[in-house]
């Protein structure tokens, strides 16, 4: 099987499951920290492991431009290059081309663009995106899609959706012919000493471990992406036709692009009705802590967002008492931890007063400590959600905001 996915508990529409990748298990619903250029900004890999991150995301656009996918392939793939032995997902590069590059031109063949780093010309096609992601060696590869801009007229959203469907087919054809070319070698595969998924994770999710995985995949898995703008009927059609192409998992893209939260929910709900229940379902680029809890309750299995890491570097901390802006003068003499209910290494050791001092002094350590806490908050939130699903009841988490167990 391309990507074993075992559902272990359900509560309403929410599922607690395990995705078994070649690089270890991923308990879901999962929040995936974003490691744009082969690093989750400001946090080292050993701390990500300590926080219980079982999968992180890499950005194809950034890694293609620098250091280049051929170099990463030569060095044994992204897992080995960045010394990350757990699961990796790479995006298709499509979203970054649309949001970062200059002078981009979309044609049937693909997207030509100029690098935001040095102005050089490049072309991303579905085939090229697959080639790059296979060279990077991700466990989960994303089909090349067009992220429809917002707002978009209905006709424009339909054309874009049709293009994404044609590109999905081309992505799959190339991927199936080349997926065995991942540079995994033996590194990090089946080496059980590297499979320690963290004691806290084992306690609340004992069944999601390498021992329960059966046959582990020997190649990456390709996910299809649903588009369709902010039109529920187009979203449903996109979902139906993407499912016809038969992927081992499905993502919902093109959300969180400026639409209202209600609209995001409406689009997700429309698509979830159609996506198969026995495969992982991934909403890309969301969201605030209360949103990811809500989406998990709706039946979403995977989410990623730069919010906890980016906000941390701007001094915004997510806590069980709400969001706090650590640079605020009111914290200058605050002897309490960032979050009294958090057990992360930052909250165990440092005061708000010290975190504020670091931030207003522009010390590099400010970004590190703030990021570690925010990621701990997001990952603990998802751990609480998984725990609640195994108990069969998400109402406490949904009604009382996010409480940490």
Q: Count CB-CB contacts under 10 A for residue 121.
A: 9
**Beta strands 140-142 and 121-124, pairing class:** unpaired
Work out how close the CB of 342 gets to Zn ion at its nearest, in angstroms, rounded to a whole number: 3
Residue from the set 307, 326, 347, 366 that interacts with Zn ion by CB under 5 A = 347
Work out how close the CB of 11 gets to Zn ion at its nearest, in angstroms, rounded to a whole number: 26
Site residue total, Zn ion (CB under 5 A): 6
Work out how close the CB of 39 gets to Zn ion at its nearest, in angstroms, rounded to a whole number: 21
Which pairs count as long-range contacts for 331-334, CB under 8 Å and 24+ apart, including other chains? 331/355, 331/356, 332/356, 332/357
Give the distance from CA 165 to its chain's centroid. Answer: 22
Contact 36, 305 (CB under 8 A): no
Got the DSSP string for 265-307?
A: HHHHHHHHTTS-TTS-EEETT---HHHHHHHHHHT--EEE-SH
Alpha carbon distance 302, 8 (integer Å): 16
Nearer to Zn ion, 43 or 221 (CB): 43
Work out how close the CB of 358 gets to Zn ion at its nearest, in angstroms, rounded to a whole number: 15
Q: Which range binds Zn ion by CB under 5 A, 69-77, 102-110, 321-329, 346-354?
A: 346-354
User: Which of 91, 145, 301, 339 is flagged as catalytic?
Assistant: 91
Best CA proximity match to 256, nearest among 305, 309, 323: 305
Q: Which range binds Zn ion by CB under 5 A, 36-44, 66-74, 156-164, 343-351?
A: 343-351
Q: Which range binds Zn ion by CB under 5 A, 31-39, 325-333, 351-359, 375-383?
A: 375-383
Residue 15: phi, psi to the nearest 5? -130, 145
Residue from the set 43, 270, 342, 402 that interacts with Zn ion by CB under 5 A = 342
Residue from the set 22, 267, 324, 344 that interacts with Zn ion by CB under 5 A = 344
Residue 368 contacts Zn ion per CB under 5 A:
no
Work out how close the CB of 374 gets to Zn ion at its nearest, in angstroms, rounded to a whole number: 8
Nearer to Zn ion, 191 or 403 (CB): 403
Contact 174, 131 (CB under 8 A): yes
Alpha carbon distance 141, 133 (integer Å): 6
User: Which of 139, 145, 301, 304 is flagged as catalytic?
Assistant: 304
Nearer to Zn ion, 152 or 324 (CB): 324
**Is 91 a catalytic site residue?**
yes
Strand residues in 76-160 grouped as ranges (E)? 87-90, 102-106, 111-114, 121-124, 140-142
Nearer to Zn ion, 3 or 346 (CB): 346
Nearer to Zn ion, 134 or 344 (CB): 344
Two tokens, residue 298: 């709706």
Residue from the set 15, 279, 352, 373 that interacts with Zn ion by CB under 5 A = 373
**Is 46 a catalytic site residue?**
no
**Which residues contact Zn ion (rule: CB under 5 A)?**
342, 344, 346-347, 373, 376
Residues tagged active-site = 91, 304
């Amino acid at each position: 099987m391309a990507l074993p996915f075992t559902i272990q508990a359900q509560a309403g529409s929410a599922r607690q499951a395990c995705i078994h990748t070649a690089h270890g298990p991923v308990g879901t619903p999962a929040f995936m920290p974003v490691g744009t250029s082969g690093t989750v900004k400001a946090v080292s890999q050993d701390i990500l492991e300590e926080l219980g991150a079982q999968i992180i995301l890499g950005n194809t656009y950034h890694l293609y431009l620098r250091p280049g996918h051929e170099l990463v392939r030569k060095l044994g793939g992204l897992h080995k290059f960045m010394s990350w032995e757990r699961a990796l997902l790479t995006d298709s590069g499509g979203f970054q081309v649309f949001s970062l590059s200059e002078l981009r031109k979309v044609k049937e063949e693909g997207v030509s663009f100029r690098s935001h780093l040095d102005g050089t010309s490049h072309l991303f096609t579905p085939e090229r995106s697959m080639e790059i992601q296979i060279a990077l060696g991700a466990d989960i590869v994303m089909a090349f899609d067009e992220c429809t801009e917002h707002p978009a007229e209905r006709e424009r959203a339909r054309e874009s959706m049709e293009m994404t469907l044609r590109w999905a087919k081309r992505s799959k054809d190339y991927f199936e012919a080349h997926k065995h070319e991942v540079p995994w070698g033996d590194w990090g595969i089946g080496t059980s000493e590297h499979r320690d998924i963290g004691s806290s994770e084992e306690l609340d999710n004992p069944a999601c471990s390498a021992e329960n995985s059966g046959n582990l995949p020997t190649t990456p898995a390709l996910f299809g992406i649903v588009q369709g703008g902010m039109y529920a009927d187009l979203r449903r059609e996109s979902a139906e036709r993407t499912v016809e192409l038969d992927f081992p998992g499905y993502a919902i893209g093109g959300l969180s692009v400026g639409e209202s939260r209600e609209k995001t929910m409406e689009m997700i709900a429309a698509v979830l009705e159609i996506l198969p229940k026995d495969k992982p379902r991934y909403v890309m680029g969301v969201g605030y802590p209360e949103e990811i809890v809500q989406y998990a309750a709706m039946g979403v299995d995977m989410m990623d967002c730069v919010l906890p890491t980016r906000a941390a570097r701007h001094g915004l901390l997510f806590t069980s008492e709400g969001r706090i802006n650590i640079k605020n003068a009111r914290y200058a003499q605050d002897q309490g931890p960032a979050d009294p209910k958090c057990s992360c290494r930052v909250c165990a050791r440092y005061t708000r007063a010290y975190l504020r001092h670091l931030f207003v002094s522009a010390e590099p350590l400010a970004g590190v400590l703030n990021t570690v806490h925010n990621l701990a908050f997001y990952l603990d939130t998802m751990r609480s959600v998984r725990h609640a699903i195994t108990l069969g009841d998400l109402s406490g988490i949904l009604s009382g905001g996010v409480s940490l167990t």
